Amino acid sequence: MTSPLETPGFTLLELVITLAVLAVLSTLALPSLGSHVDRGRLVGTAELLAADLADARFEAARQGRPLHVVAHGGSQWCWSVATAPGCGCATPEACQLKTVQANDHPGVNLLDPFSVQLHPGGEANGQPGRLQGRQGQRLRVALTPLGRARICAETPAPAAHTGRYPPC
């Protein structure tokens, strides 16, 4: 029989051991979590570029006039969807319908500047660029002859993103 002063629970030693085991497991999991986050940022940026190209293609058909997607490379890369050719993304301009900046996608680099013209009939002139993650993974966003965006992996599947996209 237990006395009223004895209540079931954990001792301080059991609590310290449990916390130590959790700390070790967390230390082992952090590198994997970091690389997963980096891959997610790369995939998210590639999918955003593909979606912006698809939206611009649709809007070109809806408006009956060509639209342009223009990108600048470098450490402060950006792209814009615009109504006029050569409408950049570095500074706000009236011809821009949408801009995307590197600051919103940490750890992702746009390797190649590009200019794509999307016609009302669905055709496209030019090819979008390649994106690279922190750990060297590369994804390419390409356009089919009919102007549909497609994402492919330039790096081997396990290194890039667990085979989510076909190799280029």
The mean pLDDT values, 10 residues at a time, for the chain of 168 residues are: 64 85 74 75 94 94 94 90 89 93 94 92 89 91 89 69 73
**Domain ranges in the chain?**
36-160
- Euclidean distance between CA atoms 73 and 161, whole angstroms: 23
Dump pLDDT digits (tens) for 79-109: 999 999 888 888 899 999 999 999 999 999 9
Among the CATH numbers 3.55.40.10, 2.30.30.50, 2.102.10.10, 3.40.430.10, which is that of 36-160?
Answer: 3.55.40.10
**What residue has token string 């593909």?**
50
